[in-house]
Amino acid sequence: MNIKDIIEHKIAEVIQNVFQIDDVNQRNNIKLEVQQNKTEFEGDFTIVTFPLVKILKKSPDLIAMELGDALSTESDFVESFNVVKGFLNLSIKKSFFLDNFNSIKENFGKTEPKNETVMVEYSSPNTNKPLHLGHIRNNLLGYSVAQILKEDGYNVIKTQIINDRGIHICKSMLAWEKFGNGETPESTHTKGDKFVGNYYVAFDKNYKKEIAELVEKGYDEDAAKKQAPIILEAQKMLLDWEKGDEKVRNLWNEMNSWVYEGFGETYKKLGVDFDQVQYESNTYLLGKDLIQEGLINGVLYQKEDGSVWCDLTDEGLDQKLLLRSDGTSVYMTQDLGTAVQRFKENNIQKLIYTVGNEQDYHFDVLFKILKKLGYNWAQNLFHLSYGMVELPEGKMKSREGTVVDADDLMQEMIDTAKEKAQELGKLENLSEEDKEKSYETVGLGALKYFMLKVDPKKKMLFNPKESIDFNGNTGPFIQYTYARIQSLLNKANYEEKTVSAYEMNDSEKDLVMNLSNFKDVVAKAAETLSPALVANYVYELVKSYNSFYQNNYILNQESEDTKNFRLELSSLTGKTIKKGLELLGIGTVDRM
């Protein structure tokens, strides 16, 4: 419980003891606002008493006086109080802040286990192209949410389902067969996922060329798209794959293996990982048995042509196709089956899907159908819906090869960090190897922080140059403050001590208040699935520390007690910054 929560909890208790409000609804709805006092008023906190005026039918000044008297008597932390125009200003005992600080130190890193397991799905790419800028936001969000949930006491399973089958995969395969001349990622010195992605682009170029030729011969455009020889060949290849054709399956396995190797390199550099991996080629037939159960139970219905549907009109939606008339499934069918399989095979209580907001409707339908089918855990399914990422140049298009490649972007960030560091004269005292590691940590930290400081629900514009700034609300600014703290502790030959008596000044109290909020911020971020709360908390903590650092002597302090306390305060702030950044998947450097 943070400092404000302790005070608010005591106020609620005192209000009941002193004013004895009988009406349960009134009593439960009272929440007096406690504000940290940064005004000209005397005291550490200001309490707004006006919500009690209507209930108690007393003046704000009288309520404030009675509440102040009671808090002074019944609490062990109020030193004095004063009332100004109905505002109750509390001065808190110096020992209360110190006790709270020592408690934060003692309990740092300790978490009460929730005995609940959450599965977080993220990434889930297609094996016909490399990861791009949109995948970066997806991966960073999913991974960070998983880290935050762990920190809040949950058991977490990180998973992805790879879309490794379908017509889009066959397009890359066919293009390689037709135009590849047997070349491989190894022979061309190309990363596997990029190699395969190049053939996806090659397919599209040839497909468009064939469409144009058919249109010239008199076909209308829709007919040309359907009759182009290359698309007919791709469709045949998909049918052959589904029949288990050995030649097609061997090519599919080989090309996918190239892609997985490439994905692995990208994930490693990005700093994300998975506990489980599923493949659509193993799950696309799942769900058909659920359809039969739904028909038997009357939850689903069958049309004359044999297709199976779910009527969601009572839920404000429409009718949803689940099985085509030829008996083949749709994406929704396999998603139903996959969800059921996950709950059967894992002891999970919650399942979070990290998927862009263009799929909001899909997940709304998925969750509602599972509820209709009688799965009680369906109420514990969540769609972490996020906005798309755009660059100043606009949207990206995979088929045209105009996406921002994830690897290229990460390397650009590392190169920019190097350029900035050299320009500012940072990292000069490090070895070349340590410099390169630092450039990577700072460059990728800038990318990750810029992505995660924005509320997931919002569409965002990513500006690489803005993200790498060493000032302002950026990753490098936060990393620099952490490095400054480590440098200070090293100079002091710091060893942890317990400070048992010390009177804090205002900037020290402000910093302790910020530190006391960390666990609550993590809990709120876990509840709302928003890493942005952690990112912005760490930024505010860094600003608070920099204010403290600029206004207080530390190493040149004559008082040994003051010096020791300020080193302890610096150490705990450093630990909290590091932990906060870890929850965002961001590394730290000890020197900058």
Return the SS3 of 386. Answer: strand
Global confidence as pTM: 0.91
Residue 353, strand partner residues: 121, 383
Residue 118, strand partner residues: 156, 350
What pLDDT was estimated at residue 402?
A: 52
What pLDDT was estimated at residue 396?
A: 42
| CA angle, 551 then 552 then 556, to 5° | 135
| Ordered alpha helix ranges (H), 399-462 | 406-424, 432-452
User: What is the SS3 string spanning 326-346?
Assistant: CCCECHHHHHHHHHHHHHHHC
Q: Where are the domains of the chain?
A: 3-92, 166-272, 406-583
- Cα separation of the two ends of the chain: 34
- Tell me the pLDDT tens digit for each residue of 52-66: 888 888 898 998 999
| CA angle, 145 then 140 then 196, to 5° | 135
* Cβ 288 vs Cβ 196: under 8 Å: no
With respect to CATH, is domain 406-583 assigned 1.10.730.10? yes
Element housing 131 (H / E): none
User: What is the SS3 string spanning 68-122?
Assistant: HHHHHHHCCCEEEEEEECCEEEEEECHHHHHHHHHHHHHHCCCCCCCCCEEEEEC
Buried b or exposed e, range 306-322, using 16+ CB within 10 angstroms: ebbebebeeeeeeebeb
How far apart (Å, rounded) are the C-alpha atoms in residues 15 and 269?
Answer: 55
> How many other C-beta atoms are found inside a 10 Å radius of the C-beta of residue 347?
10
CATH topology of domain 3-92: Gyrase A; domain 2 (3.30.1360)
What pLDDT was estimated at residue 29?
A: 63
Contacts of residue 246, Cβ cutoff 8 Å, sequence gap at least 6: none
How far apart (Å, rounded) are the C-alpha atoms in residues 175 and 179?
Answer: 6
What pLDDT was estimated at residue 227?
A: 95
How far apart (Å, rounded) are the C-alpha atoms in residues 169 and 151?
Answer: 38
Q: Which residues in the chain land under pLDDT 70?
A: 1, 21-30, 38-41, 393-403
Tokens describing residue 171: 């397009």
How far apart (Å, rounded) are the C-alpha atoms in residues 452 and 471?
Answer: 17
